Structure 1
Amino acid sequence: MTVKLVNLGLPKTGTTTLAHALDKAGWTVADHKVRRIHTREVGLGGTFIGRQLYNGYFETGDPFVHLDPIYDALTEISVLNGDTSVWPQCDYAMLKAMRMARPDMLFVATWRPAADTSDSMRRWNNMGTDRLPNGNIPGLPRGYGGSDAERIRWIDGHYDMLRDLFGDDPRYLELPVGADNARDLLSAHLGIDLPWWGRLNVNDTPDGMEGAA
């Protein structure tokens, strides 16, 4: 087994939905952490996917060396937990290393409108009010990200960077998870049938709207 898909989308853009859809299609999926049920390797289970990507990159130049035997897809690769702030999808050197290590690998970037994503971040476990402003994230230095305006600028900048980097590369798909044809777009990109598509890990809001993770 080798990693054949990486999601470069930001948190609260449908990453959990993507993971569930791929799992239902029979793929082994990593969402945020290496699950202990997926490996018996000492010291690997329970660790963050983003950390293992950087371990592989700095040890060998191949970000996937520790994850290849386990996973088909990586759907949430960032970490923002206490003092740990790891964002491979925002790091040009990491993205270049991924592409060089796996020339045939597919990429997807789950996407929602920046204002909706920012609002979901604000309401999700103090992400927008505390963790982002204290996270020291690529494109969002410590002290920024506490307002919608700052988060929206950062979110838009991230996807602009990906568009500039990948251009019309057919291996890359920006996936609008809320679109009516999102399932068809992803299915065509991967060349597989997707038996499930929906919304998971949502935030309930006073007006009844939801924000997907």
Structure 2
Amino acid sequence: MTKMQIINLGLPKSGTTTLARALRRSGLHAADHRIKAGQSENPDLAETFVADLLYEGYYRMGDPLAKLGEFEALSEISVLRERQPAWPQMDFGIIDALRHGHPQIKFVATWRDPVDLSTSMLNWTSMVARMEKAALPGLPVGYGAEESDRILWIEAHYAFLETIFAGDDRFMILDVASVTAREQLEAFTGRAMPWWGQANRNIAHLAKTEETAEG
């Protein structure tokens, strides 16, 4: 039986690492993007992507969580690869199977202002270049390099989530920049969150921005 309690359906760079840290500090066994060595009781899962395990469970075992039963939370569930991207947070089949197969799960969607999120994606290594080549759900090959492309795609994702979860109190969009983000997360999950902040910032970009401002 799965221990899963919380799954994040937000996009990369929307505060997924911050959420992972907050959930871990609250005492939950959380996986973030990739299972790290020593993080699972099953050594075969080391360095595997959460997205791949969700799809393997869904298509081969009838349950997206079949191989993730020891985890209590998932904070980043997509993987960006040029030839084989996997974005379960944009997949109705995966989400529907999770909702109906595991009614105890609460779904969070970490959110940032679409312009800020788009800029963060642009400034994170080669992320946008890979997005443009990867045929992501709703973002075909050749799209994504333009800011307007990314903003449309970002807005559509959260509108999709709001549509399919309409009236479901097991879902919330969490603005990670809100001054009440921690309190909202505590109220939604029913857990104390001893830590809330900003993790996985693009330090190099921040330093460059500060130098430009000082100049």
TM range (shorter): over 0.9
Which of the two has higher C-alpha Rg? 2
Q: 1:17 is aligned with what amino acid?
A: T
For 1:169, the equivalent position in structure 2 comes to 168
Which deviates more, 79-88 or 198-207? 198-207
Structure having the larger proportion of residues in helix: 2
Q: CA deviation at 1:170?
A: 0.8
The answer to whether residue 60 in structure 2 is matched with residue 91 in structure 1 is: no
In structure 1, C-alpha distance between the alignment counterparts of 2:91 and 2:83, rounded to whole Å: 18
Q: CA RMSD of the aligned region, Å?
A: 1.3
For 1:8, the equivalent position in structure 2 comes to 9
For 2:131, the equivalent position in structure 1 comes to 132
For 1:211, the equivalent position in structure 2 comes to none
In structure 1, C-alpha distance between the alignment counterparts of 2:22 and 2:42, rounded to whole Å: 27
The answer to whether residue 53 in structure 2 is matched with residue 52 in structure 1 is: yes
Cα deviation, 1:28-64, whole Å, max 9, x if unaligned, reads 1100011221224253211000000000000122100
SS in 2 for 1:84: coil
- The runs of at least 4 aligned residues of structure 1 exceeding 4 Å deviation read none
TM-score (norm 1): 0.93
For 2:142, the equivalent position in structure 1 comes to 143
In structure 1, C-alpha distance between the alignment counterparts of 2:124 and 2:197, rounded to whole Å: 19
Aligned length: 206
For 2:73, the equivalent position in structure 1 comes to 73
Which consecutive residues of structure 1, in runs of 5 or more, have no partner in the other structure?
209-213
**Retained in 1: the 8 A contact 2:82–2:131?**
no
For 2:213, the equivalent position in structure 1 comes to none
Q: 1:33 is aligned with what amino acid?
A: R
**Retained in 1: the 8 A contact 2:109–2:173?**
yes
For 2:121, the equivalent position in structure 1 comes to 121
TM-score (norm 2): 0.92
Cα deviation, 1:64-89, whole Å, max 9, x if unaligned, reads 01001x21100000001343300000
In structure 1, C-alpha distance between the alignment counterparts of 2:57 and 2:195, rounded to whole Å: 32
Identity %: 42
For 1:104, the equivalent position in structure 2 comes to 104
Q: 1:146 is aligned with what amino acid?
A: A
**Retained in 1: the 8 A contact 2:20–2:75?**
yes
Which consecutive residues of structure 2, in runs of 5 or more, have no partner in the other structure?
211-215
SS in 2 for 1:196: coil
The answer to whether residue 196 in structure 2 is matched with residue 200 in structure 1 is: no
For 2:64, the equivalent position in structure 1 comes to 63
In structure 1, C-alpha distance between the alignment counterparts of 2:146 and 2:99, rounded to whole Å: 34
Structure having the larger proportion of residues in strand: 1
Which deviates more, 199-208 or 116-125? 199-208
In structure 2, C-alpha distance between the alignment counterparts of 1:199 and 1:184, rounded to whole Å: 15
